[in-house]
Amino acid sequence: MKAWLARPWFGPLVALVVVYLLFVWLSPDTFARSVNLSTMARQTVVVAIAAVGMTYVIIHGGIDLSVGSAVALTTVVIARVLERGSGPLVAVLAGVAVASLAGAINGLLVARLRITPFIVTLGTMGALRGAAKGLADEQKVDADPSGLDQLMSALSPSSPWLLPAGVWIALAVAGLAALALGYTVFGRHVVAIGSNVRTAELCGVPVARVTILVYALAGALAGLAGVMEFSTLTVGDPTDSIGLELAVIAAVVIGGGSLAGGQGSIAGAMVGAVLMTVIRTGCTHVGVPNWVQEILTGAIIVAAVGLERLRRRR
């Protein structure tokens, strides 16, 4: 029992349950319906997948501000490839490859030129956004989604899968990433570098290589999130996901991630991502105006993280 309580994601999980129950109480007829639960699961997928990558980056002691732009670029790449008549698999691979490459460039700049991640990714955030707009001729790119839209479509009630494929993919990615973080040399090295980079160096950890890999992984996952985003939008949208990186960072931080590095958990980030969807959907159901919703979201993020810090100080 105690071990559970000590988990970094326990506090946010309690916050999630409290907020969820609050909305169920406020909007009992609509909020708790199973259709709504599956809708919320679908709407969490993009942030959740990107948050898996961000968790690695933040535990490693860095930050990746280019996620939103990478997602937008991926939707455009996919639309462009589909437009030329290629199959959906080719389009997905192309999108993820471009995003991974962008991530690897982030990692190279951080590891080799020793520029702080904040500045590197602030730069690539702008550059990738520009590339997306250029590739899309500054407008939305229409293409036949060739079945990719099915990843995130609502299922027919008779389907045995309960939730759309995108949700299952996100869960699988999160599970694999959590295992890799805890049980592979790479994962342990990421934690060690974030915890104390000097110790890691002393112990012969290949710091530069791990750094490049971490950012490339974050890029690849941003690409996968972009696939899901395309599946939702069914168009390539170069102005999509502006500010997504902040939601993703918030999810990781709510889930116990520390911007100082060394701390964070995939499970926590997933809880954080779900919490934000619950707040957003709940506000829609209760009929709260946008400006109140924004204040509420900000307050709940700070409160969730603040409570967690207080809990651990004791």
Using CB under 8 A, which residues numbered 165 to 224 contact another protein?
182-189, 191-192, 195-196, 198-206
- The DSSP secondary-structure symbol of 154 reads P
Which of 45, 46, 81, 253 is the binder for another protein (CB under 8 A)?
Answer: 46
Minimal distance in Å, beta carbon 15 to another protein? Answer: 11
Nearer to another protein, 49 or 105 (CB): 49
Q: How far apart are CA 4 and CA 118, in angstroms?
A: 33
Nearer to another protein, 105 or 190 (CB): 190
Encoded one letter per residue, x for contact with another protein by CB under 8 A and - for no contact, window 263-282 reads x----------------xx-
For residue 260 the two structure tokens come to 């100082």
> In this chain, which stretch among 32-40, 110-118, 164-172, 213-221 interacts with another protein, using CB under 8 A?
32-40
For residue 256 the two structure tokens come to 């116990």
Q: How far apart are CA 248 and CA 260, in angstroms?
A: 17
- The DSSP secondary-structure symbol of 155 reads P
> In this chain, which stretch among 17-25, 86-94, 123-131, 218-226 interacts with another protein, using CB under 8 A?
17-25
Which of 100, 75, 126, 49 has the alpha carbon at shortest distance from 214? 100
Nearer to another protein, 161 or 183 (CB): 183
Return the residues of window 120-159 that contact another protein according to CB under 8 A. Answer: 137-140, 142, 149, 153-154
Q: Which residues contact residue 224 at a Cβ distance below 8 angstroms, ignoring those fewer than 6 apart?
A: 49, 96, 169, 173
- Which run of H or E residues covers position 236? strand 235-236
Nearer to another protein, 89 or 295 (CB): 295
Nearer to another protein, 105 or 274 (CB): 274
Minimal distance in Å, beta carbon 170 to another protein? Answer: 16
Taking the alpha carbons at both ends of the chain, their separation in whole angstroms is 17
How many C-beta atoms surround the C-beta of residue 83 within 10 A? 14
Strand segments, DSSP code E, in 60-180 are 141-142
Nearer to another protein, 8 or 105 (CB): 8
Q: Say if residue 127 is exposed, middle or buried (CB neighbours under 10 Å; 0-12, 13-18, 19+).
A: middle
Which of 8, 9, 12, 43 is the binder for another protein (CB under 8 A)?
Answer: 43
Minimal distance in Å, beta carbon 10 to another protein? Answer: 9
- Using CB under 8 A as the binding rule, whether residue 245 contacts another protein is answered as no
